[in-house]
Amino acid sequence: MSPQFPTHAVSIDLQDRSYSIAIGAHLIGNPDTFAGLPKASAALVVTNTTVAPLYASALQNALAPHYPAVHSVVLPDGEEFKTWQTLNLIFDALLEHHCDRKTVLFALGGGVVGDMTGFAAASYMRGVPFVQVPTTLLAQVDSSVGGKTGINHPLGKNMVGAFYQPRRVVCDLSSLQTLPAREVSAGLAEIIKYGPIADMAFLDWLEGHLGALRTHDLSALAHAVRRSCEIKAHVVAQDEREGGLRAILNFGHTFGHAIEAGLGYGHWLHGEAVGCGMVMAAHLSQRLGLVDADFVTRLTCLIQAAGLPTLGPVLDAQDNAGRYLELMRVDKKAEGGDIRFVLIDGPGKACVRGAPDALVRQVIDACCSAPA
Ligand code: NAD
Ligand code: GLY
């Protein structure tokens, strides 16, 4: 990998909360990457047991010229640890190190570390600056951008949190080289979603470059991360706090969150649940007359080629569809107990609307594996 690989910047325009997303190679260990951030007497690197041995010392060394003290806290790894208890470890570290309200937090890891660090930054002393340094494909193309932070509740995914924007996002493509294949596939789910909701030309491009992305080709990754961030930045700039439009970024997530919560967090990866959820949402779109069967087949083939599941798990042997419906009523988009789905309203365009339970039941029955 060439150290000369160009760094791109994508801007996210949110008035006084605007920031840039740097996308390039070898960024984590380079002190220049972190120039110009808010000044403070201390920085706290938040990471986890898997990422710490890979990248924490490089980041700490790169931060050393900028901050008199660079502390770190290493969290347990896994979606099942996206909880109050783990969040409290960040507050413990901040208080033990006597961190003041200028302390800058650095989230080094995937979406779980990023979401929790952002929530800790939003609440410690009522708000301290934070920087996202995402090291998974999923986090680089989605979770590190846009300011959604939070933790899970046993009854629902990401149910407790805050909108709180980072000061910068640093997507170091080199860090993806150590990412396991299953995690690359999970990231591809959130990349694929941008095609049907916003940019069919990007979907065409993905169909031709899936192999390169799955084998960590740097140029292909750079394009996929950049285009994904551009689309997300454009949507978030128009609707930062999800009053309406931003909900389209949750294509596949209503079914997906039900899968994650129903199986227990950590069994299916978030991206796997979203991939399968997109297939279900596409089928629902078709049954509502919004897209044709060819579109559903095309999307399903791409999701399958990305190494993602396209058949949902059975969550309840007695009443599987009923269990999905029950879980989906806890979704943040639900209004008065009525589930609202992100659906495809013609290729490249999404809408958010309800659907009759009977139709949703048909989709779930058609899209889940037969019980064992
Ligand atoms: P993750 O954070 O669990 O990371 C996946 C795995 O990869 C973990 O085991 C992690 O330790 C490991 N890992 C991270 N970087 C690595 C690297 N470079 N090399 C080797 N291993 C590495 O999962 P994720 O897929 O990154 O994120 C999923 C989370 O993001 C979910 O909790 C989801 O709800 C959240 N999310 C949030 C938003 C948002 O807008 N805030 C959007 C999408 C998803
Ligand atoms: N991942 C959905 C959003 O950021 O709104």
- pLDDT for the residue numbered 372: 46
In this structure, what token pair is assigned to residue 247? Answer: 């909900």
- pLDDT for the residue numbered 339: 94
Q: Tell which residue, 173, 198, 176, 194, has the closest CA to residue 185.
A: 176
Contacts of 258 (CB under 8 A, 6+ apart): 277, 315, 324, 327, 328, 331
3-class secondary structure, 339: coil
Segment 127-159, tens digit of pLDDT:
999 999 999 999 999 999 999 999 998 887 899
Q: What is the mean pLDDT of residues 338-361?
A: 95
177 pLDDT above the threshold of 90: yes
- 263 vs 257: CA distance, rounded Å: 10
Segment 50-61, tens digit of pLDDT:
999 999 999 999
- pLDDT for the residue numbered 203: 98
Beta bridge partners of 107: 46, 132
Cα-Cα-Cα-Cα dihedral sign, residues 302, 311, 146, 76: negative
Q: What is the mean pLDDT of residues 5-13?
A: 93
Nearest atom, ligand 1, residue 146 CA: 40
Per cent of the chain over pLDDT 70 is: 98
For domain 194-215+240-367, is the CATH number 1.50.40.10? no
Q: Which ligand is nearest to the CA of 271?
A: 1
Q: State the Cα angle at 266 between 269 and 60, rounded to 5°.
A: 85
370 pLDDT above the threshold of 70: no
Nearest atom, ligand 2, residue 249 CA: 2
Cα-Cα-Cα-Cα dihedral sign, residues 88, 89, 95, 99: negative
| Residue ranges covered by each domain of the chain | 8-178, 194-215+240-367
338 pLDDT above the threshold of 80: yes
Q: Environment class of residue 152 by beta-carbon count within 10 Å: exposed (0-12), middle (13-18) or buried (19+)?
A: buried
- Which of 12, 28, 46, 112 has most ligand 1 atoms within 8 Å of its beta carbon, as the pocket-test mutant? 112
Cβ of 157 less than 6 Å from ligand 2: no
- 197 vs 318: CA distance, rounded Å: 34
Topology match between the domains 8-178 and 194-215+240-367 = no
282 pLDDT above the threshold of 50: yes
Segment 75-114, tens digit of pLDDT:
999 999 999 999 999 999 999 999 999 999 999 999 999 9
The Cα-based distances of 196 to 150, 229, 249, 282, 343 in angstroms read 27, 15, 11, 9, 9
> 1 pLDDT band (50/70/90 cuts)?
very low
> 233 pLDDT band (50/70/90 cuts)?
very high
In 10 A of CB 24, how many CB atoms?
21
Cβ of 148 less than 6 Å from ligand 2: yes
- Which of 21, 112, 148, 228 has most ligand 2 atoms within 8 Å of its beta carbon, as the pocket-test mutant? 148
Its CATH architecture, for the domain 8-178, is 3-Layer(aba) Sandwich (3.40)
How many helices and strands in the chain, by DSSP H and E? Answer: 12, 11
> 332 pLDDT band (50/70/90 cuts)?
confident
Nearest atom, ligand 2, residue 148 CA: 4
Extract the runs of DSSP E, i.e. beta strands, from 32-98.
42-48, 69-75
Q: What is the enclosing helix (H) or strand (E) of 266?
A: none
- pLDDT for the residue numbered 3: 53
Q: Which residue has the higher pLDDT, 155 or 200?
A: 200
- 372 vs 369: CA distance, rounded Å: 9
DSSP 95-134: HHTT--TTPEEEEEESHHHHHHHHHHHHHGGG---EEEEE
- 66 vs 47: CA distance, rounded Å: 19
Which amino acid, one-letter code, is at 60? Answer: Q
Across the chain, mean pLDDT equals 96
358 pLDDT above the threshold of 70: yes
- pLDDT for the residue numbered 117: 98
At residue 258, φ and ψ (nearest 5 deg) are -65, -40
Cβ atoms of 104 and 43 within 8 Å: the answer is: yes
In this structure, what token pair is assigned to residue 75? Answer: 């969290």
37 pLDDT above the threshold of 70: yes
- Catalytic residue ranges: 126, 148, 190, 232, 242, 246, 250, 253, 257, 270
Q: Tell which residue, 328, 349, 326, 347, has the closest CA to residue 339.
A: 328
